[in-house]
Structure formats: structure tokens, C-alpha cells
Amino acid sequence: MNPFRGRTTNRLLTRVAVLTAVLAFLAGCATGDGEDNGMGEEFTFVSPGGQTRIFYPPEERGAVTGLSGESLMREGEQVGLDDFRGQVVVLNVWGSWCGPCRAEADDLQAVQDKTADQGVQLLGINVRDEQSAAADFHRDRGLTYPSLFDPSGRSLLALQNFPRSTVPATIVLDRDHRVAAVFLTEMLESDLLPEVQKVANEPAA
């Protein structure tokens, strides 16, 4: 037996083993299920089968990322979730043409007023509307929280599979911007406030 041939074979096998280990390590990094950033899987809405109030326990929550758009009240400025890192965010999809939206506006403002010191931020998403009408709505009701002006509903694409025709809709995000609750109906302060406070009292993941 040629001793040099045996050494060459051993070296080749060693290199193959090392290369395999490196590739396995890199694959593990690439498919770490979101462990590196702590965000977990992205949120994908699933039809609730007639339910109008859906709640997600922490271990089943998906994250919302990339939601942003033009500010309704500050022309030329952008506003989005990245502006409220570490805060509970309550998204509200609304239109000035929507009767239930007009009815719930005062309740949403009351929730903002009562939870701001707990690190809660409301963020409106104005859809299928004219900017002047939406801005008048915002001013007339004394709303202090910002809204995105999103007439096409494009910003809602960040909420995968979410029905853009459902107005009003309210989505409660925890401090890691994972979906904790979805309400596909008009909300009263008495219903929304305890749910928002519950999420605000949770420890950040």
C-alpha cells in the first residue's frame, strides 16, 4: 500500500468533514427562526370564522414589521412602528366616511390619554379617504395621536392577509410589536382599555 496515498485520502476526508461542519453552522444561522432578533415569526392574519375579537397568547404572537407611511397631519413626514420601539402600539384602521369610526374616536382618545404613561401609543391608519376630510376629522375630534394617510391601504400590507376592507379595525401590538389582539368591530373605551392595560403590564420578551 502506498503510504502517501493513505495520507492524501485522510487529508481529503478531514477537509470534507470540516467543510460539512462549517456549512451546517452557516445553515443554522440562516434558519434560526428569528432567534437572533428576538422577533419570532411575522404575523399572518387567518380568517377568524365569524369572530370579531381575536386574542393571541404570547407564545403564539407574530411580529409586525415595516409598517410605515405618510403622516396625515404633518405633510412630507413619515411615521411608522419604528418610531415607537419598546412601546405597546394600538393600530386603528379608520376613515372619515365611516360611521362607527366617528363613534369610537372619543373612546380611542380616552384610551390614549389613560395609558400614555404606561408606554402605550395609538397609531391611526386612515384608508379610502381624502386627506382634507381626514385631517378635518382629526382636528374636529381633538385627536392627539398620529395617523398614517394611506388611501390605498398599502401600509396594511405589513399585516399579511389582513382584510383591508374591514373598517374600523383595531390591532393591539405588545412591546415587541407582536399582535396580541385584533378587533374587527367598533370599540368602546370600556372594552379596549382593560385589554391594552393587560398587554402594557406584560414583560417585554
Which residues make Cβ contacts (< 8 Å) with residue 181, sequence separation at least 6? 53, 54, 55, 56, 171, 172, 195, 199
Looking at residue 36, its pLDDT comes to 34
Looking at residue 48, its pLDDT comes to 80
pLDDT (tens digit, 9 = 90+) per residue, 18-72?
A: 333 333 333 333 333 333 334 469 999 997 888 999 999 999 999 999 999 999 9
Superfamily of domain 53-200 in the CATH hierarchy: Glutaredoxin (3.40.30.10)
pTM to 2 decimal places: 0.80
Domain boundaries, the chain: 1-31, 53-200
List of the chain residues with pLDDT < 50: 3-4, 6-10, 12-39
Which residues make Cβ contacts (< 8 Å) with residue 127, sequence separation at least 6? 93, 94, 95, 150, 151, 152, 153, 156, 164, 167
